[in-house]
Chain A
Amino acid sequence: MTQSTPVIEIDQLGRRFGRHDAVNGLSLRVPAGRCYGFFGRNGAGKTTTIKCLLNLLRPTSGRVRVFGLDPRRDEVAVKSRLAYVPDQVAFYPWMTVRETLNYMASFRARWNQQTEKALLERFRLDVRQKTSHLSKGQRTQLALAGAICGEPELLVLDEPTSGLDPIVRREFIQTVIGAYQDADPGNRTVFVSTHLISEFEGLIDEFTIIDAGREVLTLESDAARGRFEKPLEEIFVSTLAPAGATA
């Protein structure tokens, strides 16, 4: 991949469910090494867009490219270079933490044992525990560890911290900043969809706010703070809520 090829490129993406347009003419691009925020209310089309990137859904119209490749035609090539942490993490319940990590590693060309060890310690995960006995926070931690140890070029996070306690949320973000971006930061791209914007505020270089499947605002974070003189979450609220609805 050349430096100029965006990691994610979405052009006029449309996805229809029945008569409802979940995504309706969305375009955005994410350059390598960026941490890109994808903000929208519940039902704005964030997860549908992400599923189109991962070939879990087929676009009704428009075009998506990941690493310059078509995720549908080059599914294996695309998926081997990215990792995805959804909001609802599912594991095989009969497997232990150790077995789950081994299973995940078996799909990966690379697996960083040192990172794995460090993350297991940081999250205080017991490798002998069955995944069915893990709390929601521990499941997310295991999913994140599994995503990061494969050293993917792109980390796709879909509402990763919703429903987690503040300490787990904080650790999650520090892990993305620290462990994930540690090696080769110029080629570690993060695409995170969230409505917990203030939580991710410092991490986000650039963001797109979508509503009803369309782009409403795309800006670099620093430019946004300079223009609106308020935190990203306030920008989000004032962009989407009618004037007066913001307290």
Chain B
Amino acid sequence: MRLQVSFKSGKPVYLQVVDQVKTAVACGTLRAGDPLPGIRPLAESLRVNRNTIAKAYGELESQGVIQTAAGKGCVVRDGGSPYRKDVRLDLLKHDIDAAVVQAHHLQIGRADFLRLAEARFDAFAQQRHEAGPTS
């Protein structure tokens, strides 16, 4: 996995790292038990502050995406989120709300929105399929 950060976008750098790792895990590029790069080498290669990487890994750990394994650094967690389903739904609600607001401004109606959501799920499944069989 190659991480990249851009200072041109207004997105905080640590969130860029969080989202890239989450995408890699969701797509199957990173599997359960796979190690993440160490904080120092990653910070050096991206030329970003170590605090930024530490913050990103802390965020990923609290979201249950990775865990710290003794002597191995950070690895991708097996199994799912540590949260109960109602909490997980609640977390997702905020992202969907943002997309619904954006849809409103772009004059995309409910039917088109739902159709697009279906299509994106299909594209995601396809991407996972191409990455190979997952557990």
Contact = CB atoms under 8 A, between A and B. Distances in A.
Interface of A: 33-35, 170, 173-174, 177-178, 181-182, 185, 198, 201-205, 221-222, 225-232
Interface of B: 5, 7-14, 40, 43-44, 46-52, 54
A172 to B, nearest CB: 10
A177 B44 contact: yes
B44 A222 contact: no
Contacts of A229: 9-10
A227 to B, nearest CB: 8
Given A174-B44, A177-B44, A182-B40, A226 B49 contact: no
A182 B43 CA distance: 11
Given A222-B13, A225-B12, A201 B40 contact: no
A202 B7 contact: yes
A134 B120 CA distance: 59
Given A174-B44, A178-B44, A182-B40, A202 B13 contact: yes
Contacts of A228: 10
A181 B14 contact: no
Contacts of A205: 49, 51
B8 A230 contact: yes
24 contacts: A33-B51, A35-B51, A173-B47, A177-B43, A177-B44, A177-B47, A177-B49, A178-B43, A178-B44, A198-B7, A202-B46, A202-B52, A203-B48, A203-B49, A205-B51, A222-B12, A222-B14, A225-B7, A225-B10, A226-B10, A229-B10, A230-B10, A231-B7, A231-B8
Given A205-B51, A225-B10, 12 more contacts: A35-B49, A174-B47, A177-B43, A182-B40, A185-B50, A203-B49, A205-B49, A222-B12, A225-B9, A226-B10, A228-B10, A230-B8
Contacts of B5: 202
Dominant SS at the A interface?
A: helix
B54 to A, nearest CB: 8
A177 B50 contact: yes
3 nearest A-B pairs in the assembled complex, by CB-CB distance: A202-B48, A229-B10, A222-B12
Contact of A181 (B11, B46, B50): B50
A173 B43 CA distance: 11
Contacts of B13: 202, 221-222
A174 B48 CA distance: 9
Contact of B47 (A203, A221, A232): A203
Contacts of A221: 13
A236 B118 CA distance: 44
Contact of B7 (A33, A181, A201): A201
A229 B47 CA distance: 20
A204 B12 CA distance: 12
Contacts of A230: 8, 10
Contacts of B54: 185
Contacts of B43: 177-178
A204 B44 contact: no
